[in-house]
């Protein structure tokens, strides 16, 4: 019997305020692991909206992902970082509350 290796994932949040305008198309924004130069996720958002609209979208990416950026690719295949979206990684917190005796 063989088992497939399952890569652990973590949730990141894409946040920002969408541009205001009359555009009607949707744009695919790619989440890039900058250290590995690899696409690790994507979101599809409107190119523009009529009124100010903030977004906060949770996306699963590999837990091994390094520094993350979000953006699009130009016609030449070059990554263009978004000026209005950002990727927030979860903060690694320390345990809080009762954790038992300290052994002192």
Residue 83 inside a domain? The answer is yes
Residue 101 inside a domain? The answer is no
Q: Rounded to a whole number, what is the largest CA-CA distance in the chain?
A: 66
Q: What is the pLDDT of residue 42?
A: 96
81 touches 70 (CB < 8 A):
yes
Block means of pLDDT (10 residues each) for the chain, length 104 residues?
61 95 93 92 95 94 89 96 93 52 52
The two beta strands, 68-73 and 79-81, are antiparallel
Q: What is the pLDDT of residue 98?
A: 54
Residue 81 inside a domain? The answer is yes
Q: What is the pLDDT of residue 1?
A: 45
70 touches 30 (CB < 8 A):
yes
Q: Under the phi-then-psi rule, with left for phi > 0, alpha for psi from -120 to 50, and beta for the rest, what region is 63? A: alpha
69 touches 33 (CB < 8 A):
no
User: Domain residues for 21?
Assistant: 9-88
83: Cβ contacts below 8 Å, ≥ 6 apart: none
Q: What is the DSSP string of 78-94?
A: -EEE-SSEEEEPPP-PP
Residue 103 inside a domain? The answer is no
The number of domains in the chain is 1
- The helix (H) or strand (E) run that includes residue 46 is strand 38-46
Residue 24 inside a domain? The answer is yes
């Amino acid at each position: 019997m063989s088992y497939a290796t399952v890569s652990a994932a973590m949730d990141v949040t894409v946040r920002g305020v969408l541009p205001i305008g009359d555009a009607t198309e949707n744009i695919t924004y790619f989440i890039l692991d900058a250290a590995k130069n690899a696409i690790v996720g994507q979101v599809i958002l409107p190119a523009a909206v009529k009124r100010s609209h903030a977004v906060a979208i949770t996306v699963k990416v590999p837990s091994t992902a390094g520094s993350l950026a979000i953006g699009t690719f130009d016609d030449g295949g070059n990554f263009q970082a978004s000026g209005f979206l950002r990727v927030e990684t979860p903060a690694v917190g320390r345990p809080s509350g009762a954790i038992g005796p300290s052994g002192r």
